[in-house]
Homo-oligomer: A and B are copies of this chain.
Amino acid sequence: MDTNFDKKIFIENFKHGCNKIQLKKFSKGETITTYIQKRNQICIVLSGEVDLIRYDLNGNKTIISHFICDDIFGEVFYPVNTNNELFAVACKSSEILFFTYDTLFTKCRRNCDFHKTLTSSLSELFLEQIISLNSRIELLTKRSIRSKILAYFDLQTRGSINRNFFMPFSYTDLADFLSIDRSAMMREIKLLIDDGFIKKSGGKITLLY
């Protein structure tokens, strides 16, 4: 993700003591936050990676989303859901910025510049988030495994001249992301190779069409 969001300004301002925002560090496996309604918490990933996890009534674990640097997450982005709790867990050691949504629209005691920056940066971040959600929906609404895969590959090669890319995560995770069975996905990828649509060596995929 390539935002205009200026991390340096954030951290700089943070150091100068805005009292409404907190920066915390987490090591791998630590729970960053649980999604509790009405706390209005917003989190931004400054470094590291974060999984958003749900445990359903049967105890099954699902990774709902995966956040990387500059991504924004928090319970305010989710519809009210009484059925099951969501957890944000650090996959790597990560630095996370915390604040509440209300914070943005009230001035802090020092009336710091941070708030002004934050408010305008936030629209930018929200927008990035919307684009990324829309593109995931675009993939999820494809009606077959083949078209899901191709659409994903296509998205990854946008802007590349050679029409190739390296998988940003494992095939197991890709199946999860596209909400399809892993083995069925692997089968379909093999068929795509046999049909001469793509080439694959390890994590490198090249489109041939």
Question: How many protomers of this protein does the assembly include?
Answer: 2
Is the C-beta of A191 less than 8 angstroms from some C-beta in chain B? no
Instruction: Tell me if A169 counts as interface (CB < 8 A to partner B).
Output: no
Interface hits, A110-152 → B, CB 8 Å: 119-120, 122-123, 126-127, 129-138, 140-143
- Which of A7-15, A22-30, A76-84, A87-95 is the contact stretch? A76-84
Residue of B nearest to A79 (CB): B135
B77 close to A127 (CB less than 8 A): yes
Contacts of A77 in B (CB 8 A): 127, 130-131, 134
A-B contact pairs, 26 of them (CB 8 A): A62-B141, A64-B138, A64-B141, A77-B127, A77-B130, A78-B131, A78-B134, A78-B135, A79-B132, A79-B134, A79-B135, A79-B155, A101-B127, A104-B123, A119-B119, A122-B123, A123-B123, A129-B130, A130-B133, A137-B137, A137-B140, A140-B140, A140-B141, A141-B179, A142-B179, A143-B179
Whole-angstrom distance between the alpha carbons of A106 and B82 in the complex? Answer: 42
Q: Is A209 in the interface zone, CB < 8 Å from B?
A: no
A38 interfacial contact with B, CB 8 Å? no
Q: Which of B80, B105, B127, B137 interacts with A133 by CB under 8 Å?
A: B137
Central interface residue in A76, A123, A155, by most chain B CB within 10 Å = A123
Within 8 A of B (CB), among A156-200: 158, 179
CA distance A135 to B81 in the complex (A): 10
Q: Which 10 A-B pairs have the closest CB atoms?
A: A126-B126, A133-B133, A140-B140, A79-B135, A141-B179, A77-B130, A79-B131, A78-B134, A129-B130, A123-B123
